[in-house]
Structure 1
């Protein structure tokens, strides 16, 4: 929704009578009577709206956001609708001026009525980052049995109104604190260990049979382990590290040397390392393309968080899996103990005509294959910086009571992100003493006190405006708001120092924000904000039908999800203009996406900046596979859903939900002429109850009709049933203000013309994310001030984020 309310056509009926104390207000009443009441009054209630029922008590503010939306609708020309008589500019100016004045007059009363104390619970991601920055401990709250999934609001996972606390949350927070403290202060310290498995060691009996075959043929090339599509092989066994247990969970470094076989005109080999989810599938925690040729293998290295004991598997992901080659029998023959081990495709002596066919007569691979030389795991790893975060947290076993209290006090101030009074810690010190008296060792007793600190509301929540009612945050609260906005975590020592000195409400704020924007932790903002803003959790929510889209696979889906994030990273880090989100002559892509889009493949591995040409039909966020696919249902594109997503993301407006019992669009009858989804929507819009909303939503989605359900370019819409040829796609339309467009490129041009609206909407998204609440009409002046500041810097994306961080709005509770 606009963060000020729903569209005019969806305004809710407010059960308030007009407040007589306001008196007759002209020209506002005259404007409403002349241009609005006939459609939104006693005789007719379009969009379920009775304007005469809206409260005019602007101090109470029950319907203020509805009135503010009315100003926007009238100013934009969307209301009154085209078929009605248009008001003059003088009438509009008088109406808007008076209504705006009434809204502003009640602002002070509305602000003073806001709750004095607001609590915002940390999201799972923020909890994970915070315990890492506090204690140097790696903990994954998304694992089964750990923290509850966060409730989303339009993709955002950090709104205080949504993140409630249930009994199950409390139980899991206690368990999480136990795990974190066990890893921070283990009973038995485990040293990092390294294990290495060669291709021979991964084979049965050390690969003796395969080596004998190579010796018999006189082949001097090394023994390799063959990983081919359709087969899952072990990548990490628990026994590789010997004794395993909770103390060994942590960061591990995986290295392997491998090369790839790529079929002519096919995809590079893609290796996924993760947990087995089926006979031939793996949920990857490490995914990468192997582009190194067989004669020049490459060493690949990754750091990954592992919950031990862990069993991981290899899986080669490719859409060119040869299912026609007798399936399981083919795989079993390759994996048999006595089967030949592949060394190089040029070793024609191994290309036995009676063996499963994997290569042509010239030694070219028939499908993507990985050749593994060795794999190495090392861990758990800890950096000196991580260890330093735990120094001084635990007192000596024979420490005096006051020393123990001092240690706990220092820890609580960091954990709670503010000064702590001695009396606040008395319950935790009493629990420590009770544990000692019960016979526990000092360390175990102190761990109970630490657990109390980590399960306190002061740790789990950001508490703003306590205890006294005030409009402004204090320096400590502002430090946390900034750090959770830009770093998704607690303040660091420098930010704590600035808060202690009281400089964050002065020139010190600019210095700290600039430092934070340059810090590596800003990548957390890039990852988290872009993912939530664009609602990327919906990518893959409805898996595409394999029969309709056979080239769609898990690796493509993962690549699609990463593309907008990497694109955002590039735009942010280089402070490029925000209009690049709407259109660009480049994108960030890996080999899999380049193959899907038909682009030249990047030279290096991973995501690279790739140039685009007009004939590529790409550019900006809106033509990315993720944006086009997340609004589809797995079988067909959905223009209405695309329009709703674009309205939310680009304009920060959520159209109203459809009325109850709206019939679904039926498939094309077998004996009827093939009709596009657009044609069917036209018939749907003939319903008067649907027309007003669809007139605003549908053009935003129909502009992308040249892209199918997974974002592939097309000129004709494939219709399964019906007579005649598949119809041509028609991506033309008309914006709500009457401007026409002929296709997606034309539509993007109109969006760029409206860049100020997009900038304003982007700022609203940032502020909602940073403030952790839905914005109201009372935030409008602050938003306008941020937009004005951002415009001074040509609306570079990093400059906009900086303007939000430095804004007066960020300092308000």
Structure 2
């Protein structure tokens, strides 16, 4: 969108051009509401429009005409303070201008309406390697070290920006080598074994030789006299228990079952607010993690990489078994942790030492010199929350297929001794057909075959030469890029476009069979495939990735929140916040509910911590479940913690930042950047009055007024939510929050609930915005003015059939832009 002055120029250019052909009422409308300020006698913002061309001759003109009609539809024009048309007059002017736009479209052709040869982005590369070679790429991400992809309008799959650099090529080579090595499994089927360890989990004397500190007795870890070991804080000292039978990591990657026998002790404690980072009475959260101990940081148990694999909430002092089946990568080993214990055991000892006068059991240790005797004694008499671990057992790996499918794709049923010039050529071609997601073109593999044969002639071992060929295939343009050409997509290209839209990965066997039989040109077959693919577990990638890109979640859980919001990390709130929104998206998709449900839902999906954060009635458990929000301030996407956190910076809030975010994500409108000579608005850290006064000054500047008229109301409506989405009625200095505002249409509201009602009345704007976002994501390019008729057709069809989100996705796939390039 242009800046406000340019936008006024566009409006009046349209007004003047239209007067030569429009009927009498429309000409009067334009004269009454446009020319007075930008004609011969007056040129507001140094703009004069009575001498502008009177015909739409360029695509740029067409695009700007359409923006003008959109603004009239949104009732953002004419500006506040100018004579306002009646609803009938506005509708007539919009209809006339729309007819001119439709006529111009038939005379102008959009020259760039296709997706350029697009390489896979990091996420797509990761998933494709995983699906092609049957590798668990959550445990090992082949794209972890790739440079970040450029984002356009929040999306990181825009073909024009997905360039390839020399550094990226180096990463491709390294990732391909590791992927081929990981997928190669010539050895015998790994034997599933059982491992067990009962208390104690710490060691001293000769037993601790060569073990990381995690396993060793120190001031905050001791060998108990009981048949269990207690954990006290969430920091590693006294908060992490290692598993000695698998110290050094598992020998084979695969699925393992981990069972832990544990109990929650003293959830209700006598220390009051002293343990300010543990809420009295809360369940205790047991976490299972896997770690790689190749590192050298002794303070963290020599951990290089760690992954959280599962959580369980414990409320009973009676021991019970908890079980997870998870993937453990070769070289990784399990740990058990106290996820929501007090900050650190060291801090805990210091706190309870200071409470000796209030708690007789502590008194004998209060004046004792610091050391093991004091620390161990205090911990043994400590009556606060303890996670009690009795037994840990691990079984695996569980193998369903041997050798794995990725190995079979590369080597078939050959052994390494069976490799020769003939079998190597055969395996290269079979692998390339899978990697390229289509049948091979005649002779296209010959350069790679010649290279491999040259290596054989030079004395390279057959297996090494073949693997080098596989690696080269994984670095070739036919694997890294989606080469869709121009015009109607053929079956294989359409299969790939569909699979990367809904699965972020390569087509499966069913899609490729349809492509081979040329059935994907049948709209019924294509629609059925959309339904099938959305039911497949791989569609979770679409849900998570699309929502992440749509709402710009890259900073959630990573931004440095202020100290007062440490609960954000302690309680894993960032994960629950993201889960709330993706679960709502999944729910609307599975139930095929109308897109407006994102605005008017009177329910949401929360777990215990998120419900407490929102002030909703208490629920138990770490799993998200549907709860009613009727009668509360919560309801719809804009009150989700993810939405509110992504539109803040973790420390304070800004009505301008949140207003722009809401405009872009909900209404599909991106305001232009402010002029260079206008100072930024500071976050509202001094109170609502001050920031409102600053914004009022901005609105007095002609070049700022129009944008702030759209931005400010949405931003102020969200000021009742703090930087991580909790409800507030005042700022830190006891200044009341004023969440009232007025939309450009003139409608006023007092708070987010009334604004929500007004936005629901205009839900068509949200549905259009969501449709455009889905198409942008599906096509891998920005939408252009020539795509507008297709978007209109989709929305008309969706409205006619009163369709839902699944219908919308199906219509996107059946649209002309999706079927053509």
TM-score by length of 2: 0.81
Distance in 1, Cα, partners of 2:229 & 2:245: 22
Matched, 1:147 2:162: no
Q: Counterpart of 1:334? A: none
Q: Counterpart of 2:246? A: 240
Q: Counterpart of 2:199? A: 200
3-state DSSP of counterpart to 2:534 = helix
Structure 1 pair 782–604 and aligned structure 2 pair: CA distance change class (3 A) = same
Matched, 1:435 2:455: yes
Deviates more, 1:167-176 or 1:449-458: 449-458
Kindly state the Cα deviation for residue 410 of structure 1 after the two structures are TM-superposed: 2.9
| Superposed CA offset, 1:471-500 (max 9, x none) | x21211111111111111111000000011
Kindly state the Cα deviation for residue 769 of structure 1 after the two structures are TM-superposed: 0.9
Kindly state the Cα deviation for residue 359 of structure 1 after the two structures are TM-superposed: 7.2
Structure 1 pair 550–126 and aligned structure 2 pair: CA distance change class (3 A) = closer
3-state DSSP of counterpart to 2:627 = strand
Could you tell me which of 696, 713, 720 is aligned with 1:706?
720
Q: Counterpart of 2:656? A: 640
Kindly state the Cα deviation for residue 435 of structure 1 after the two structures are TM-superposed: 1.3
The alignment of Structure 1 onto Structure 2 pairs a total of residues equal to 761
Q: Counterpart of 2:79? A: 81
Aligned 8 A contact 2:499 2:507 in 1: yes
3-state DSSP of counterpart to 1:391 = helix
Matched, 1:715 2:729: yes
Structure 1 pair 101–463 and aligned structure 2 pair: CA distance change class (3 A) = farther
Distance in 2, Cα, partners of 1:461 & 1:144: 15
Q: Counterpart of 1:166? A: 165
Deviates more, 1:231-240 or 1:681-690: 231-240
Distance in 2, Cα, partners of 1:260 & 1:487: 41
Distance in 2, Cα, partners of 1:50 & 1:477: 49
Structure 1 pair 658–492 and aligned structure 2 pair: CA distance change class (3 A) = same
Could you tell me which of 280, 285, 289 is aligned with 1:270?
285
Deviates more, 1:706-715 or 1:86-95: 86-95
Structure 1 pair 665–528 and aligned structure 2 pair: CA distance change class (3 A) = closer
Distance in 2, Cα, partners of 1:474 & 1:456: 21
Kindly state the Cα deviation for residue 309 of structure 1 after the two structures are TM-superposed: 5.4
Aligned 8 A contact 2:576 2:610 in 1: yes
Q: Counterpart of 1:452? A: 472
Structure 1: gaps (5+ residues):
332-338, 340-351, 720-725
Q: Counterpart of 1:286? A: 309
Kindly state the Cα deviation for residue 99 of structure 1 after the two structures are TM-superposed: 4.4
Q: Counterpart of 1:494? A: 510
Distance in 1, Cα, partners of 2:789 & 2:732: 49
Could you tell me which of 632, 641, 651 is aligned with 1:625?
641
Aligned 8 A contact 2:502 2:534 in 1: yes
Distance in 2, Cα, partners of 1:541 & 1:44: 52
Structure 1 pair 401–552 and aligned structure 2 pair: CA distance change class (3 A) = closer
Could you tell me which of 406, 410, 415 is aligned with 1:393?
410
Kindly state the Cα deviation for residue 544 of structure 1 after the two structures are TM-superposed: 2.2
Kindly state the Cα deviation for residue 642 of structure 1 after the two structures are TM-superposed: 1.3
Q: Counterpart of 2:339? A: 316
3-state DSSP of counterpart to 2:445 = helix
Structure 1 pair 145–474 and aligned structure 2 pair: CA distance change class (3 A) = closer
Structure 1 pair 492–145 and aligned structure 2 pair: CA distance change class (3 A) = closer
Give runs of aligned pairs for residues 352-501 of structure 1, distance below 5 A.
355-356=377-378, 366-367=384-385, 369-377=386-394, 382-384=399-401, 387-394=404-411, 396=414, 398=418, 404-465=424-485, 469-470=486-487, 472-501=488-517
Deviates more, 1:84-93 or 1:677-686: 84-93
TM-score by length of 1: 0.82
Deviates more, 1:761-770 or 1:630-639: 630-639
Could you tell me which of 523, 530, 545 is aligned with 1:513?
530
Structure 2: gaps (5+ residues):
208-214, 269-279, 355-361, 363-373
Kindly state the Cα deviation for residue 52 of structure 1 after the two structures are TM-superposed: 7.7
3-state DSSP of counterpart to 1:270 = strand
Aligned 8 A contact 1:539 1:629 in 2: yes
Deviates more, 1:496-505 or 1:76-85: 76-85
Q: Counterpart of 1:588? A: 605
Q: Counterpart of 1:342? A: none
Distance in 1, Cα, partners of 2:567 & 2:495: 48
Distance in 2, Cα, partners of 1:385 & 1:156: 39
Structure 1 pair 383–705 and aligned structure 2 pair: CA distance change class (3 A) = same
Structure 1 pair 428–696 and aligned structure 2 pair: CA distance change class (3 A) = same
Distance in 1, Cα, partners of 2:647 & 2:352: 40
Could you tell me which of 556, 559, 565 is aligned with 2:582?
565
Distance in 2, Cα, partners of 1:195 & 1:762: 50
Could you tell me which of 536, 545, 549 is aligned with 1:532?
549
Deviates more, 1:232-241 or 1:799-808: 232-241
Distance in 2, Cα, partners of 1:795 & 1:356: 64
Deviates more, 1:567-576 or 1:120-129: 567-576
